[in-house]
Structure 1
Amino acid sequence: MNILQLEKILNEKLSPQLIKDYAPNGLQVEGKPTIKRIVTGVTASQALIDKAVELNADALLVHHGYFWKGEPEPIRGMKGQRIRTLIKNDLNLFGYHLPLDIHPQLGNNAQLARLLDIQVEGGLEGHPQSVAMYGRLAQPITGAELSAKINRVLNRAPLHIAPDNVDKLIETIGWCTGGGQDYIELAVKHGLDAFISGEISERTTYSAREQAIHYFAAGHHATERYGVKALGEWLASEHGLEVEFIDIDNPV
């Protein structure tokens, strides 16, 4: 498959043109023109690039790519080494950030809901492109039970900030993968029983305690493994490409 054809397929699937983002979505570093083998992963770290080179990949497809707003512009140091490795090995880099968070089937939020058996009901921001979602569990469970389930499913123990009424059952739940901790305020306004995000801030603890909502910080990396993995599996099944997901350990 031609590189521009692959970008067109990805853009048609994820519609990045409809979303205001913090980094360019699509082809970020151009390499060889023909794509047969793709490596997918969460972040275009040096370790992931090196693994893609080792596997003779033609393209690297990630959720966290490069050229973020506000980052230093010079291509030097760590950034320079990463991009030199890509260019030296003729390796294409595709990055999709918010489009891969919010896609209704392949997105990080949709995949987390699937893994945790949450029935999606809508977006916390009140529109289909909301970065944060809300939904309902099939049966109410305790905070300890949900914490154990998150641990089992994501293979990472979450940080659980419980309300004073620790036995308060959870049926309605909001979530936002990655750095979505501040959407907890919208979760409270919706009257939800719990909220899950990847990261936590110091202020989030008090927000959860004082507003009597269960809060779970499940890890930025851990909650965002599944969108890019699902996207790669879709490319393989629908377009016959050879795709392999590589999980570079990150405890954050």
Structure 2
Amino acid sequence: MISRPDLLTTFNGLLQPERFRDYGPNGLQVEGRMEIGKIVSGVTASRALIEAAIAAHADAIFVHHGLFWRGQDGCVTGWMKQRLALLLAHDINLFAYHLPLDAHPELGNNAQLGLQLGLVVQAQFGEQNLGCLGQPANGIAFASAQALADRVSFVLNRPVVLVDQAQVAIKKVAWCSGGGQSYFEAAMAAGADAFITGEISEPQAHLARECGVAFIACGHHASERYGAPALAAHVAAQCGLTHEFIDIDNPA
């Protein structure tokens, strides 16, 4: 068991949220019971995840996407009331870390996505250094962007969107999990032959075709499934807690 304040201190020590300009509060978003023995991790604090955590007898939930975001109207109605009511009724703590979890160099979403795909990080780039630049761990270039896209699709077990005009071998790969499509130009400036992220917006298809850098969109949720369980498992092992990752399927 660990106390809520001590667990918060441990999470903050690893993720250093004070270093980031973010879109919502990082840390303890909903206060629950004081003593914590089991953590459930997930991508998003959806009602389905909260209900699954209740069934799993969790004392705390650790997620990437919390409940509160800049620009919300602040009213506790509808879906917000339903999620908060479940957390409060069952006295469950909710910890959420957004950009700090993306950026952690070993346990974060980007580092873990690269690990899953067999990519070695050589540098970080872009605003707040959220993007990663690297190459295949075996040092052998992908024969084509299609070969890289096939690898991503196989590992994440879902179809991907590939825009590839140049059709050349891929030596340097850049990636930024989630909604990182705005990092595409920074990835090109960093020398990437291909860029992987969760989503694609209309302008990126044109940029990929005109600039000869392949763009692969593999799903926001799919690209961010690895950071939360990696970090929560690390902390659970460090603090002698039980940990369970619950993946709520999301096609986005």
TM-score (norm 1): 0.96
| Matching residue's letter, 1:109 | N
Q: Equivalents in 2 of 1:109, 1:24: separation in Å? A: 20
Letter in 2 for 1:151: S
User: Distance between the aligned counterparts of 1:243 and 1:11, measured in 2?
Assistant: 18
Deviates more, 1:117-126 or 1:10-19: 117-126
Q: CA deviation at 1:125?
A: 2.5
Identify which of structures 1 and 2 has the higher relative contact order when contacts are C-alpha pairs closer than 8 Å and 6+ apart.
Answer: 2
1:63 is aligned to 64
Is the Cα–Cα contact under 8 Å of residues 132 and 175 in structure 1 kept in the other structure?
Answer: yes
> In structure 1, how many angstroms separate the alpha carbons of the residues matched to 2:13 and 2:115?
23
What is the match of residue 46 of structure 1? 47
Q: Please name the residue that 2:176 is paired with.
A: 176
- What amino acid is the match of 2:227? G
Equivalent pairs, count: 248
Which shifted more, 96-105 or 147-156?
147-156
1:235 touches 1:243 (CA, 8 Å); kept in 2?
no
How far is 1:188 from its partner? 1.5
The one-letter code matched in structure 2 to 1:193 is D
Counterpart contact for 1:124–1:174, Cα < 8 Å: no
The answer to whether the Cα contact below 8 Å between 1:105 and 1:111 also exists between their aligned partners in 2 is yes
Pairing of 1:74-223 with structure 2 (within 5 A): 74-125=75-126, 129-137=128-136, 138-141=139-142, 142-163=144-165, 165-166=166-167, 168-223=168-223
Q: Secondary structure at the match of 2:216?
A: strand
- The separation in 1 between residues aligned to 2:188 and 2:21, in whole angstroms, is 26
Could you list the per-position Cα deviations for residues 66-93 of structure 1 after superposition, in whole angstroms to 9, with x for gaps in the alignment? Answer: 2100122101111111001110111110
Q: Residue 233 in 1 paired to residue 233 in 2?
A: yes
Asked if residue 34 in structure 1 is aligned to residue 35 in structure 2, the reply is yes
Kindly state the Cα deviation for residue 143 of structure 1 after the two structures are TM-superposed. 1.3
The amino acid that maps onto 1:24 is P
SS of residue paired to 1:231? helix
Q: Which runs of 5+ in 1 are unaligned?
A: none
**Cα displacement (A) at 1:191:** 2.6
Superposed CA deviations along residues 208-241 of structure 1, whole A, max 9, x for unmatched, are 1111111100110001010001012102221111
> Residue deviations 1:110-129, cap 9 Å, x none?
01111111121111238xx5
Indicate the RMSD between aligned Cα atoms, in angstroms.
1.1
Q: 1:15, 1:99 within 8 Å by CA — same for their partners in 2?
A: yes
Q: Counterpart of 2:29 in structure 1: which amino acid? A: Q
Q: Following the alignment from structure 1 to structure 2, what is the Cα–Cα distance between the partners of residues 237 and 205?
A: 43
2-side partners of 1:61 and 1:124: how far apart? 27
Partner of 2:35, secondary structure, is coil
Contact between 2:37 and 2:59, CA under 8 Å: does it hold in 1?
yes
Q: Distance in 1 between matches of 2:22 and 2:185?
A: 22
Deviations 1:174-210 (A, max 9, x none): 1100000011101121231000111111111111111
For structure 2, the 5+ residue unaligned runs are none
